[in-house]
Amino acid sequence: MGSSLPFGVSQFTTWPWPFERDVERYTAHGIPAIEICAFKLDKCDYAPQLNSITAAGLRVSSVQAEVHSLFPDSLAGQPTAPDDRIRHIKTTIERVAPHVPEQTPFVVITGAAPGGDTAAVYEQALTSFAELAQFAARRKMRIAYEPLNPVLFNTDTALWGLDQALELVERVGHEALGLCVDTWNIFQTPALHEVIRRCGDRIFVVQVSDWHRPRSGADRISLGDGMIDNAAIVRTIRATGYTGLYVLEIFSGESLPDSIWRSDLDAVLAKNRGVFERIWKKSAG
């Protein structure tokens, strides 16, 4: 492909497509990287699909396990016990690690707080994220904690705001635990650019999309169609020294009348690659 643009696409963005079509179409659109979503992998044998990524010349930005939260969330309600969910994440790391580059981040979130007890979730996260970071580090992988937008409180997260996420990561204090910075989730963080600068080398992966007032918890839109100043955010992230990938992650509920998941996904890829290229140029300097 030869593209130097640090751009990738999450398989969540092209949810309706099978794994093989993702690899083929991302490559066709000159998209250099892919975020692996394990729900698309063959449950019996990950290897052929994961090896096809390398064969296609795609980089791996990050990995999302089928269960990627400490407590139940909207994507995976079962199992309910944190220990069982942690075992699932560990299994995914073990199965995927041999087929992806060293230091690949596996994205995790808290899930919703049972009974609204966010304090208990926070304490659990301190212990569980340390455990996962140690486990990942032994396999030369990393864990990227992703704070979610407040609209997902009570369904997917017990914490929001990049500032709270950074505090959690700093309290755990393990080099293999860092941050997944998703612009849709964090753009409303108070003093955002100051917080991003404080994140420094704890940023392991960046996700991008755009925002309008959501009609559901999965109502994100294409870059350039909303109100997020992605160029300004990317500029500040670049100033931290971050040299990793920026991954297009768009959730779009199929019940929405203009759902991206029911549209021409090739057109979605082409449009967003083009817009990100302009964002990248604008964010330079």
Find the mean pLDDT for residues 4-15: 97
Residue 116 lies in a domain: yes
Residue 163 lies in a domain: yes
Largest CA distance in the chain: 50
Write the CATH number for 196: 3.20.20.150
Query: Any idea what DSSP says for residue 109?
Result: B
User: Which amino acid makes up residue 131?
Assistant: E
If you search the block for the tokens 């910075």, which residue do you land on? Answer: 181
Domain span including residue 181: 28-282
Structure confidence at residue 3 as a pLDDT band (50, 70, 90): confident
pTM for this prediction: 0.97
Is the per-residue pLDDT at 176 higher than 70? yes
Structure confidence at residue 200 as a pLDDT band (50, 70, 90): very high
How many CB atoms within 10 Å of residue 269? Answer: 22
Q: How far is Cα 129 from Cα 178, in angstroms, rounded to an integer?
A: 10
Note the pLDDT of residue 1. 42
Residue 2 lies in a domain: no
* Per-residue buried b or exposed e for 194-205, using 16+ beta carbons within 10 Å of the residue's own CB: ebbeebeebbbb
Q: How far is Cα 250 from Cα 228, in angstroms, rounded to an integer?
A: 14
Residue 263, CA distances (Å) to 13, 15, 190, 267 in order: 11, 12, 34, 8
Q: How far is Cα 271 from Cα 275, in angstroms, rounded to an integer?
A: 6
Query: pLDDT over 90 for what percent of the chain?
Result: 96
Q: How far is Cα 53 from Cα 55, in angstroms, rounded to an integer?
A: 5
Q: How far is Cα 13 from Cα 221, in angstroms, rounded to an integer?
A: 10
Find the mean pLDDT for residues 46-72: 97
In this structure, what token pair is assigned to residue 268?
A: 């979605």
In this structure, what token pair is assigned to residue 36?
A: 């692996």
Note the pLDDT of residue 70. 98
Helices (H), the chain: 19-28, 47-55, 82-96, 118-138, 162-172, 183-186, 192-199, 230-239, 265-282
Residue 18 lies in a domain: no
Residue 32 lies in a domain: yes
Residue 44 lies in a domain: yes
Find the mean pLDDT for residues 77-105: 97
**Nearest alpha carbon to residue 86 among 66, 69, 64:** 69
Structure confidence at residue 285 as a pLDDT band (50, 70, 90): confident
Give the pLDDT confidence of 230-272 residue by residue, as tens digits.
999 999 999 999 999 999 999 998 789 999 999 999 999 999 9
Structural domain tally of the chain?
1
What is the average pLDDT score of the chain? 96
Residue 90 lies in a domain: yes
**Nearest alpha carbon to residue 157 among 228, 68, 88, 93:** 68
Is the per-residue pLDDT at 154 higher than 70? yes
Residue 46 lies in a domain: yes
Angle in degrees, 0-180, between the axes of helices 19-28 and 47-55, rounded to the nearest 10: 0
